[in-house]
Structure 1
Amino acid sequence: MERAVARIVASDPSHQRLRMAARGTLAVGGAVVVVALLARALGQSILPAAPGVVVAMIGTMAVNDESRRARMITLGLGVLTAFGGVAVGSLLFDASIASHVAFVAAAGAATYVQRYGPRGMALGMLGFMSYFMAIFLRIPASGLWWTALAVCAGAVVAGVVKDVLVPDRPVGDLRRTVDAFVTRVGQVRRAADQVVRDGDDGIDGRRRSRLRRKILGLRETELAIDGQLGDSDDETSLRLHDLVLHATLAAEALGERAVHGASVPDLTEDELDQIVAELREAGRTVRPEEEGQRDETDSDDEDSAEDDEPSSRLSPDLRKALQATVATGLAVPIGLLVSTQRWYWAAIGAFVVFTRPATAAESVVRGSERLLGTTIGAAAGMALGTAGSGHPDVQLVLLGVGVFVSLYLFGVSYILAMAGITTILAIVYDLMGQFSGQVLELRVAETAIGVALGGVAAMLVFPTSSRNKIRESESDLLEELQSFIDTLADPDATRRPRDLRDAARAVEQKAHDLRLVAAPLTQPFPGIGSGRRRRRVVMLTALGRSARQLAREVSADPGSLREAAVREDLEALSCRLAALRSESDAAQQVPVRAAQIDGPIGRELHRIARILDSLSDDPEATTPLGGADTTTTGHRI
């Protein structure tokens, strides 16, 4: 039981998913109560106030600005946007053609404004969903004042839930993330021990994959701690940075030793225990940056769109908006052919394909996940709808639990989240007296139409190639590695340890970004994906680990950078990187003497050189668990 609890805690390090689910559930429940009380006091129907519940839910889920002041501004703008969507919908619901055209335009606009970051995403979703609710509920223009009041009430509920009832707590979040990191270290150790107990005959692909997943999870938690600490310069934060890196490298070494044998020179398990103990102590005393102190310059750089594709003149945001417009524009009439009452499921299915994905492959995967989740949810809805029918109290409890579970699962599996939402809809329809198997079948059919059209639009209308996106991420990673090597080569590097640490963190972050971008092609679903590309991504992301190790070793031994052999190797690596980034064959003509350097610095320099050789020399070369080969001889990884 303790291990199961620890696994759950480690999967949600700072309770972000738990907090999101709690916020969403409280927002929906609180908004329903407030709207019901206002409706009773004013003698109004509750249905025209439904957009207020939508505002409360989206306000807690999508309003993610850094500071409280920025969130309040976004909520204020969201009230205006939501009311505007309701007003347009109420004026057009009698004109079916005009309302359908406006629906398509709203989908395109909501997709385009995602370019403005979290605020654009929130406002776009509020406007689109409010318009949809207006035409779905057929809110009359005479009742707009009541809807406007409900929208304001929903925004207030969202603000109270997010900043008062379930606020972010940076200190507690950091401590929980450190605890989760320690748990993940234990998971890596147990997975490595299992490989050792199995012996040579037991090291199969599944054991390797499990151990690799544990190490990747450890790295992600390490990045989460780095992000929460920010650029704090106090001694305790710097100590925690160093301990987290030290523990990560030690745990990775245990994994590599389990696979490759005892030839890996690194920490013993007793030393790792000591690091973990120090890590726990540092996690109790460190204080992260307070809200509003962080630099709000996002790393989400605008894409330069320098592809060789015919659509390169379009910005990525405009391209995605056009795709969403075309997809929903086709989904509306085809959905109407299937059902004149439930056509919106097809249109929404086409729209959500473009809410987050940046490439055609990501859009297809997201649409497939939505369809699969909807199908599973329809089956579950049939069972729960039948079992709970005639027991409204039980159904209300199931609704609350369903909302919470669905929101929590969004960060775990989009398939399971969509299954939960479809199950919730089945219960809602039963409460409204409209439940039937045909309704759920229709939802699945309309969703299939929508996601199919969304996938077609993503692949045919100004498509963004996933392979090009991966190549861009690879280029960004190599560029950051070049900056890191240049920082090491700077004679003053030892006097600026923070610059060195930040440069290494930037390489690790780009490696993490590459893993995310490559996921649709390397592992869209379990057991599926390109093994060759997956091996290449693992090779590239190992560069982040080597950069962090080098930064740590140089910080511990600043004088090493003054050695002639090290400086020659840094220059050689810089030449290799330049040749690789320019796709030149010159990389193979630049030798690296790192094998002649004793200690971990020489080992890491040689490791980077071998990775670069494999990338330029043999794209299908394999790489061992967690990074490059840890032996000190041989050319291939």
Structure 2
Amino acid sequence: MSVVKRVFVAPDPGRLRLRAAMRAVLGIGLAVVACGAVGHSLVAAITGGLAALLALFTVTDPSVRSQAVTTALLPVVGLPVFALAAVLHGHPWARDLAFLAIVGGGVFARRWGPRGHALGVFAFMAFFVAQFLHMVPSQLPELYVAVLLSLAMAAAVRFGAWCYERRHSAPVVMTAPAPGRGLYRATTRQAVQAVVGAGFALAVGQLLSPDRWYWAVGATWWIFVNTTSRGETLVRGFRRVLGTVIGVGIGLAVAVPLHGAPVPTAVLIALCVFGIFYTAAVSYTWMMLAVTVMASLLYGLLGVLNTDLLALRFFETGVGMTGSVLAVLLVLPITTHATTDAWVRHALHSVRASAATAAARLAGADADPLPHIAELEFTLNKVRLSLAPLVHPLNPLRARKARARQVLAYLDDCARQAHQLAAIAADAEASHDQRLTAACERVEAAVAVLVSSPSTADSAARAVAPEHKDATAAAEHPALAHLHALERALVGLGRPLQAAPGSPLADA
């Protein structure tokens, strides 16, 4: 019940998740309709619909202009991969090596931020879809037209008919800020891990099924997406299997009896698309449930769905999860502590920047704290993802779990106060107060102490301790009240951050 509550009661500021889900249904639906209108085959229409889904799901650049550029680059990467997969269709060894190379390159591309991430995912999925649909060279001209037409329809909806994004509203995909080169860089390590895990999944998956082996590779790939540490990957693998199990059950109850009936299948696929986009940000389990049901419905349209196929999907998913788990545990592991520490520091910098910018705005300067608030929200999501292994119900280490929950609670409190402060700063009638400047300076000093040495919680407390008269006056000034609350949250945060490597928040 807690998972259901988290999905349907989770905050949705600006109804962005709802808007994204509704827009996805519209964009993908129009893409499929357009393919049908020009006489494309069912295979081409499915390919176009999946291309539109990927364009709307994976392109997460921070500005609309950057999103448009990335969307335009998708076919530049995807079409050659389609051709490569089709040409290698009858050459298993070459096909497998090419697939593993694309896996490694797709993960490695994350170092170039949201655009590299989106292009890497699209390249991988182009090869995956080619296996899913058993693509051959003679189909390429029609499929190329379908992909280009579908991407154009998705872009028309996203950037024309329903462009609700503003400058900083889009989520950002990036890896934890960490120094290093070569194998010391997170993206390089993950690329190696992904290739090893996908290689295991490919070999074992082919033993299970010479025709559907790519499911195992796909499971490994998607478990690695948006994760960094071994703990994150383990939790994501567990959630993927759980979502697949539930999805297979629903597929047995819903998709199999339909026998590919076009109208009800299309309606249910639209509901699955909505579910994928609406739940992606809050529950990977629910998202995988929707993906599994959608895959079942697509196989129903293709006339190959049966109970044995759904059972095979479950076992292939298990193989993919096993491959990812072995890879992150045995090959160049990245600890949860290292990843969490980087994101917490990033979040603290965002807190400091938002408080300072809000104070400058109240002083009359032309400053906007909202970009820092958006960055803080994104970073907090990454902290939650990084700490997921520690707060997971199956984690038997109670001390680590309690301390991780404290970190999340205090960071959430910091974000809440920063939000309120930014809202007050946006009020044109708010007046400057010297106490605001002093409080912001204390916040900056506290963050500097925590970032440089998280173990010195007492120093952080001294840095932010407000004078009693300021605390009393805070009741008369809303901005000052939120700044003092932010100070108290930073003091509290210093205690759980005393965890050094080997202590409760460390290596997981």
TM-score range relative to shorter protein = 0.7 to 0.9
- Structure 2: which amino acid aligns with 1:560? R
Residue of structure 1 equivalent to 2:324: 454
1:14 is paired with a residue of what secondary structure? helix
Question: Which sits farther off after the overlay, 66-75 or 495-504?
Answer: 495-504
- CA distance change for structure 1 residues 496 and 531 in 2, over 3 Å: closer, same or farther? same
- CA distance change for structure 1 residues 323 and 431 in 2, over 3 Å: closer, same or farther? same
CA distance in 2: counterparts of 1:329 and 1:508, whole angstroms: 37
Tell me if structure 1 keeps the 8 A contact 2:336–2:387.
no
User: Which residues of 2 match residues 164-179 of structure 1 at below 5 A?
Assistant: 164-165=160-161, 167-169=162-164
CA distance in 1: counterparts of 2:280 and 2:140, whole angstroms: 33
Once the 2 structures are TM-superposed, how far is the Cα of residue 100 of structure 1 from its aligned partner? 0.8
CA displacement 1:121-164 (0-9 Å, x = unmatched): 33222222222233343333244323322222222222223234
Equivalent residue in structure 2 for 1:560, among 435, 460, 467: 435
CA displacement 1:461-514 (0-9 Å, x = unmatched): 2222222222223334455566688899x9x99745565967985996588357
Tell me if structure 1 keeps the 8 A contact 2:243–2:286.
yes
CA distance in 2: counterparts of 1:18 and 1:572, whole angstroms: 35
CA distance in 2: counterparts of 1:122 and 1:570, whole angstroms: 39
* 2:437 corresponds to 1:442: no
- CA distance change for structure 1 residues 104 and 407 in 2, over 3 Å: closer, same or farther? same
Instruction: Point out where structure 2 has 5 or more consecutive residues left out of the alignment.
Output: 1-6, 500-508
CA displacement 1:63-121 (0-9 Å, x = unmatched): 34456654443333222222101110111111101101111111111222233333323
Equivalent residue in structure 2 for 1:99, among 71, 95, 116: 95
- CA distance change for structure 1 residues 28 and 607 in 2, over 3 Å: closer, same or farther? closer
- CA distance change for structure 1 residues 132 and 517 in 2, over 3 Å: closer, same or farther? closer
CA distance in 2: counterparts of 1:478 and 1:337, whole angstroms: 49
* 2:320 corresponds to 1:325: no
- CA distance change for structure 1 residues 23 and 483 in 2, over 3 Å: closer, same or farther? closer
- CA distance change for structure 1 residues 450 and 496 in 2, over 3 Å: closer, same or farther? same
- Structure 2: which amino acid aligns with 1:363? T
Residue of structure 1 equivalent to 2:135: 139
Once the 2 structures are TM-superposed, how far is the Cα of residue 300 of structure 1 from its aligned partner? 5.6
- CA distance change for structure 1 residues 556 and 464 in 2, over 3 Å: closer, same or farther? farther
Equivalent residue in structure 2 for 1:422, among 272, 285, 292: 292
Aligned identity (percent) is: 26
1:375 is paired with a residue of what secondary structure? helix
- CA distance change for structure 1 residues 51 and 428 in 2, over 3 Å: closer, same or farther? closer
CA distance in 2: counterparts of 1:572 and 1:28, whole angstroms: 46
Question: Which sits farther off after the overlay, 590-599 or 493-502?
Answer: 493-502
Tell me if structure 2 keeps the 8 A contact 1:357–1:363.
yes
Residue of structure 2 equivalent to 1:17: 17
Once the 2 structures are TM-superposed, how far is the Cα of residue 544 of structure 1 from its aligned partner? 4.7
User: Which residues of 2 match residues 207-286 of structure 1 at below 5 A?
Assistant: none
- Structure 2: which amino acid aligns with 1:535? Q
Tell me if structure 2 keeps the 8 A contact 1:354–1:363.
yes
CA distance in 1: counterparts of 2:178 and 2:201, whole angstroms: 31
CA distance in 2: counterparts of 1:119 and 1:321, whole angstroms: 17
CA distance in 2: counterparts of 1:481 and 1:131, whole angstroms: 42
Instruction: Point out where structure 1 has 5 or more consecutive residues left out of the alignment.
Output: 1-6, 171-227, 229-290, 622-637
Residue of structure 2 equivalent to 1:32: 32
Equivalent residue in structure 1 for 2:149, among 153, 171, 177: 153
Once the 2 structures are TM-superposed, how far is the Cα of residue 361 of structure 1 from its aligned partner? 1.7
- Structure 2: which amino acid aligns with 1:595? H
Residue of structure 2 equivalent to 1:581: 452
Once the 2 structures are TM-superposed, how far is the Cα of residue 534 of structure 1 from its aligned partner? 0.8
Tell me if structure 2 keeps the 8 A contact 1:576–1:590.
no
CA distance in 2: counterparts of 1:37 and 1:106, whole angstroms: 33
Bigger CA radius of gyration: 1
Question: Which sits farther off after the overlay, 460-469 or 442-451?
Answer: 460-469
Tell me if structure 2 keeps the 8 A contact 1:473–1:510.
no
CA distance in 1: counterparts of 2:355 and 2:67, whole angstroms: 39
Residue of structure 2 equivalent to 1:594: 467
- CA distance change for structure 1 residues 498 and 514 in 2, over 3 Å: closer, same or farther? farther
Tell me if structure 2 keeps the 8 A contact 1:305–1:313.
no
Question: Which sits farther off after the overlay, 433-442 or 132-141?
Answer: 132-141
Tell me if structure 1 keeps the 8 A contact 2:223–2:237.
yes
Residue of structure 2 equivalent to 1:58: 54
Equivalent residue in structure 2 for 1:368, among 218, 238, 260: 238
CA distance in 2: counterparts of 1:324 and 1:605, whole angstroms: 44
Once the 2 structures are TM-superposed, how far is the Cα of residue 381 of structure 1 from its aligned partner? 0.9
- Structure 2: which amino acid aligns with 1:558? D
Tell me if structure 1 keeps the 8 A contact 2:43–2:133.
yes
Once the 2 structures are TM-superposed, how far is the Cα of residue 403 of structure 1 from its aligned partner? 3.2
CA distance in 1: counterparts of 2:467 and 2:131, whole angstroms: 68
Tell me if structure 1 keeps the 8 A contact 2:414–2:490.
no
* 2:416 corresponds to 1:516: no
User: Which residues of 2 match residues 528-543 of structure 1 at below 5 A?
Assistant: 530-543=401-414
CA distance in 1: counterparts of 2:255 and 2:240, whole angstroms: 21
- Structure 2: which amino acid aligns with 1:459? L
CA distance in 1: counterparts of 2:139 and 2:146, whole angstroms: 11
Tell me if structure 2 keeps the 8 A contact 1:24–1:57.
yes
CA displacement 1:596-625 (0-9 Å, x = unmatched): 54322898787677666655667699xxxx
1:93 is paired with a residue of what secondary structure? coil
CA displacement 1:266-297 (0-9 Å, x = unmatched): xxxxxxxxxxxxxxxxxxxxxxxxx6xx7999
Residue of structure 2 equivalent to 1:223: none
Question: Which sits farther off after the overlay, 340-349 or 402-411?
Answer: 402-411
- Structure 2: which amino acid aligns with 1:599? A
RMSD over aligned Cα atoms: 4.3
Once the 2 structures are TM-superposed, how far is the Cα of residue 432 of structure 1 from its aligned partner? 3.3
CA distance in 1: counterparts of 2:139 and 2:381, whole angstroms: 48
Equivalent residue in structure 1 for 2:251, among 371, 381, 391: 381
Residue of structure 2 equivalent to 1:199: none
- CA distance change for structure 1 residues 450 and 579 in 2, over 3 Å: closer, same or farther? closer
1:304 is paired with a residue of what secondary structure? coil
Equivalent residue in structure 1 for 2:72, among 76, 79, 97: 76
2:38 is paired with a residue of what secondary structure? helix
* 2:209 corresponds to 1:339: yes
- Structure 2: which amino acid aligns with 1:20? A
Tell me if structure 2 keeps the 8 A contact 1:473–1:517.
no
Once the 2 structures are TM-superposed, how far is the Cα of residue 8 of structure 1 from its aligned partner? 6.4
CA displacement 1:309-358 (0-9 Å, x = unmatched): xx985322222222211111111001111111111111100011111112
Once the 2 structures are TM-superposed, how far is the Cα of residue 515 of structure 1 from its aligned partner? 4.6
Once the 2 structures are TM-superposed, how far is the Cα of residue 545 of structure 1 from its aligned partner? 5.1
Residue of structure 2 equivalent to 1:410: 280
CA distance in 2: counterparts of 1:21 and 1:548, whole angstroms: 25
Equivalent residue in structure 2 for 1:47, among 9, 18, 43: 43
CA distance in 1: counterparts of 2:443 and 2:279, whole angstroms: 48
Tell me if structure 1 keeps the 8 A contact 2:74–2:122.
yes
Give the aligned length.
479
Tell me if structure 1 keeps the 8 A contact 2:70–2:115.
yes
CA distance in 2: counterparts of 1:373 and 1:124, whole angstroms: 24
Tell me if structure 2 keeps the 8 A contact 1:577–1:612.
no
Once the 2 structures are TM-superposed, how far is the Cα of residue 576 of structure 1 from its aligned partner? 9.3
- Structure 2: which amino acid aligns with 1:539? Y
Q: Which has the higher contact order (CA 8 A, sep 6+)?
A: 2
